[in-house]
Structure 1
Amino acid sequence: MALKINLKPGEKLVINGAVIENGDHRASLLILNKASILRQRDIMQPDEVTTPARRIYFAIMMMYLDADGHAEHYAEFALRSSEFISAISSSEGLDLCLKIGRHVLETNYYQALMTCRKLLEFEAKRLAAAAQPATIADASGA
């Protein structure tokens, strides 16, 4: 079964490591065989790797796109995942980490990335909650 990708003008995607940019008009591509494909919105740049969950996402993305560097990227994924798991106690976060790990072990990297997006949301909520200033009642000990 073919994969149909609709591209907006100027939108980029990566297919098996090749960066492709659409021209001035909408376009459709049919991918007829298995390929590693990421749309521009799913690609994380190195300077965006600023949190623990983003480090996990980036390692998975690199495993997906860079087969030659797989061992190095897998080692990074394993390290970052174990660090993340050690730092959280939430069953929701742990469940997401287990699902991601399962997808990686099955070499289903695209699904691992999509599950890791949920881990990014989980982390963002936790970081936002931690950044909330204490209320006056909390500060006064009431």
Structure 2
Amino acid sequence: MALKLSLKPDEKLVINGAVIANADRRATLIVHNKASILREKDILQEEQVDTPAKRIYFPIMLMYMDNAPTPKYYDEFVVRMTEFMHAISTPEAVENCVGISRDVMDRNYYRALMNCKKLIAFENARLAPSSE
């Protein structure tokens, strides 16, 4: 089944490592085969990796975009996930971490990334200043 992507003006995406930028109008792309695709909003630059959950997301993103098994990225993921899981006790967050780990082991990196976004949201909620 083909993947249909609607791009906003000036939106960027990465397809199998190639950065593609849309021009000044909306555009639609149809991808007919399996490819590693990330929209601009799902891409973290190294300087944006400033929280524990983002330190988990980043190596998963690199594994997804690399397409070849890279022990360096996997090892970084394992270290960061282990640190994170030692620091949390919320059952829902622990369950999410287990699911992300399972997805990474199964090389289902895109699903792991999308679930890691939930982990980032969980972290943001915990780190947000209380309104007292």
Matches within 5 A, 1:16-95: 16-68=16-68, 70-95=70-95
In 2, distance between residues paired with 1:3 and 1:67? Answer: 18
In 1, distance between residues paired with 2:68 and 2:2? Answer: 26
TM-fit CA distance, 1:121: 0.6
Give the secondary structure class of the aligned counterpart of 1:123: helix
Give the secondary structure class of the aligned counterpart of 1:117: helix
1:120 aligns with: 120
Task: Tell me how many residue pairs correspond in the alignment.
Answer: 132
1:140 aligns with: none
In 2, distance between residues paired with 1:69 and 1:49? Answer: 22
TM-fit CA distance, 1:38: 0.1
In 2, distance between residues paired with 1:47 and 1:69? Answer: 24
TM-fit CA distance, 1:106: 1.1
Report the TM-score when normalising by structure 2.
0.95
In 1, distance between residues paired with 2:123 and 2:77? Answer: 17
Q: After the TM superposition, which segments of 4 or more aligned residues of structure 1 sit over 3 Å from their partners?
A: none
TM-fit CA distance, 1:84: 0.3
Conserved in 1, the CA contact under 8 Å of 2:36 and 2:67? Answer: no
In 2, distance between residues paired with 1:98 and 1:90? Answer: 12
Report the TM-score when normalising by structure 1.
0.89
TM-fit CA distance, 1:68: 4.7
Superposition RMSD in Å? 1.4
Percent identity between the aligned chains? 55
Structure with more of its chain in helix, by fraction: 1
In 1, distance between residues paired with 2:24 and 2:121? Answer: 33
In 1, distance between residues paired with 2:14 and 2:112? Answer: 17
Spell out, residue by residue over 1:40-77, the C-alpha distance to the aligned partner (whole angstroms, 9 max, x if none): 00001111100000000011001101235721110000
Spell out, residue by residue over 1:103-132, the C-alpha distance to the aligned partner (whole angstroms, 9 max, x if none): 11111101000000000011111112xx43
Give the secondary structure class of the aligned counterpart of 1:110: helix
Unaligned runs of 5+ in 1: 136-142
